Amino acid sequence: MNDMPTTDASPDDLIVIAGAGGFIGGHLTKYFQDRGFTRIRAVDKKPVPEWYQPVPGIERLSLDLSEPEHCRRACEGAAEVYNLAADMGGMGFIEHFRIECMRSILITTHMLEAAYRAGARRYFFSSSACAYNTEMQKDPDAPALKESDAYPAMCERGYGWEKLMSEMFCQEYWHERGMKTFIARFHAVYGPYGTWDGGREKVPAAFCRKVIEAIDEDTGRIEIWGDGTRERTFMYVDDCVRGIDRITHCDELVATPINLGSSELVSVDGLATMVEEIAGVQLERDYIEGPLGVGRRTRDNTMIKRVLGWEPDIPLREGMEKTYAWIEQQYADRKAGKRTIS
């Protein structure tokens, strides 16, 4: 199949991106602008000056999308709607703030209805690998997750259940009402212009910050939750936004959840070593108690390769070098009293 997305949207059609003030939403906004789309409505709960990646020349709205009237305003006149709005963070956040995570179901229900009433032709929802059955991921030798492995359902508490329920809402808006919906299960997205401090950051950003702090403070050591043996895959954000575009414009994937993630597996210790190598240091490690998540999480990319003829392919080392450089600059800016994302 052709590697490039096929779209029925023209550059003059209105694209709505919910969660555009955040990490992936900001990158997706810039991606569509770079592809020549001239009518983009970016929406986020945060005040516009606090958005992670300002993109000039677009319509920007600060709206709480858990409120139905705000969703109607956001979706008015939309040809395509991309819903990346959610209250979430890394494992430390989603294990301790499950109620906040589950409340994101309000965004899904109201945005779907608003998009449908607005006559949107396509609706994308950002799901998560946390929707998968956790019992299948406890073993260090757990197999790669296929799309069908979400059932029988036994999701991560809070965040995972919200994602699975939201997937079901999307599927029913296609089956009952005929609105084309598309669902990607993200697997650990990382990169610049994301949270890197404060408790919501994910492992790649956290390790970059910890190494930078250890160098700056001359401590010679970093802390790692657990014993460092748990394995994950991480997808660079540029691959993520390309995948969103391809998935949303493939009619074979209507109302069909699909994995969107890298196949490059690394242990927590291996990732820490990679960041140390990028920084040119070797640090001692203190293994401490903390939120751990499942034992091993990787995905089976058979479906995305078969349907799209493509899969995320940016090497982890390449993406981590870019991420480290960006966080290093953010850290220096914060020390200098400048405004930063975290």
Enzyme catalytic residues: 159
Residue 144 DSSP class: P
Q: What is the DSSP string of 33-61?
A: HHTT---EEEEESS-GGG-SS--TTSEEE
CA 125, CA 118: separation in Å to the nearest integer? 17
CA dihedral sign of residues 243, 245, 248, 249: negative
In angstroms, the CA 63 to CA 61 distance is: 6
The dihedral formed by the CA atoms of 233, 238, 240 and 243, expressed in degrees to the nearest 10? -120
Number of other CB atoms surrounding residue 206 within 10 Å? 26
CA distances from 152 to 85, 133, 134, 149, 306 (A): 27, 7, 10, 7, 24
Among 104, 127, 133, 165, which residue's Cα sits nearest to residue 259? 127
Cα distance between residue 266 and residue 298, in whole Å: 10
Q: How far apart are CA 252 and CA 27, in angstroms?
A: 25
